[in-house]
Amino acid sequence: MIKPHGSHVLTPLLVEDMARLKALRAEAQGLPSLVVSSATAANAVMLGAGYFTPLTGFMNKADILEVAQKMQTTSGLFWPVPVANLTSDTHGVEVGSRVALRDPNVSGEPVLAIQTVSAAETLTDKDVDEICQSVYGTTDDAHPGVATFKSQGKTVLSGPIEVLNLSYFETDFPETFRTAGQIRDEISNRGWKTVVAFQTRNPMHRAHEELCKMAKDAVHADGILIHMLLGKLKPGDIPADVRDAAIRKMVELYFPPNTVMITGYGFDMLYAGPREAVLHAVFRQNAGCTHLIVGRDHAGVGDYYGAFDAQTIFDDSVPPGALEIEIFRADHTAYSKKLDRVVMMRDAPDHQKEDFVLLSGTRVREMLAAGEDLPVEFARPEVARILMKHYADEAS
């Protein structure tokens, strides 16, 4: 199986030894507490679940700046985005001490992890702007990723962590949430050697369905990992439970048996476009996938990124050999009226715009909110019904 990134073995930071876990829970009761941001909690979950192998905790200021500017840590590890514990509240936190990190996303704010604080450093306004410009391609506060980054505070608390639980993801999504190790085990149990991953924060329409099948055929994959984000999104995005139901129905009815794994991971969306696409590649390699589909405006938002910037970054900025996972480059997909099937538009040079069924995300949401049927060329009827029910429930 493909090796984890930067390591021969997966290094999840979730404490699974029950004696150690009991000791840490007892220790946490006497430690200073810090209610972290949702972004920091998501980083802790990804560290705990092994997705951020080989990191051992939160980055210091030097590593954050180096990763932002050069996509590598000061030790030379290739890494595309900072993994930080940013805060504006350092009450009771001392360098060299241990602190209980509390989960803002769970009722009662239970302890999520314990961190040994190696350093407490301050980002300047210039640092913040440089990080945002490098990672998000903008300093615009209207960008949801930039807004989230700037809202967390400017104090960097770095150091190793031990993760006590995986937040709300295991309880809210027991059939879907999986750690990187669990996915690797399942891939091994199925005997799959070549696995193509599909990243999604949205329900999957006909074009997404066919794209997965095209990629599987193109790379001669044994199976497909549909890997959905289960964490926080921007307002207006479809909630995770609705996406989960829609994707499961599509796979049940329209994919051959035993060719798809439906899973999810516990992370908040960054909307960092090209940089986030590279992060997606890193943690899909950690999950045991050999290929990642990268499509048009992958992980993008608004008009901040070019349509295929998330593909060209792998040519321009990822050093040879930095990743073992390979990228399947997808064009915009749409239903061809001429061919009566979904195609990648680059493969239909004889088509005009009117030969395709094209619906914008905005138009789809408008139709769903109005209770209108989506064209069968765009969405499977069974999937569309699940989405229509969600919008109807939201409106009532």
Catalytic residue positions, numbered: 201-202
Cα dist. 326→82, 177, 282, 285, 309 in Å?
A: 22, 24, 10, 9, 16
Query: Could you give the count of Cα atoms lying within 13 Å of 224 in the half-sphere of its Cβ?
Result: 25
Reading the block at residue 381, the tokens are: 């009827």
Q: What are phi and psi of 91, to 5 degrees?
A: -60, 125
Residue 113's beta-bridge partner residues? 101, 163
Closest to 214 measured CA to CA, from 206, 308, 246, 309: 206
Instruction: Report DSSP letters for 123-135, one per residue.
Output: --HHHHHHHHHHH
The conformation of residue 334, written as its DSSP 8-state character, comes to E
> Burial code of 330-352, b = ≥16 C-beta within 10 A, e = fewer?
bbbbbbbeeeeebbbbeebeebe
Cβ atoms of 325 and 293 within 8 Å: the answer is no
In which element (H, E) is residue 342 found?
strand 341-344
Report the chain's terminal Cα–Cα distance, integer Å: 49
The conformation of residue 106, written as its DSSP 8-state character, comes to S
In which element (H, E) is residue 35 found?
strand 33-35
- Count of CB atoms situated within 10 Å of the CB of 257: 7
How buried is residue 165: exposed, middle or buried, by Cβ count under 10 Å (0-12/13-18/19+)? buried
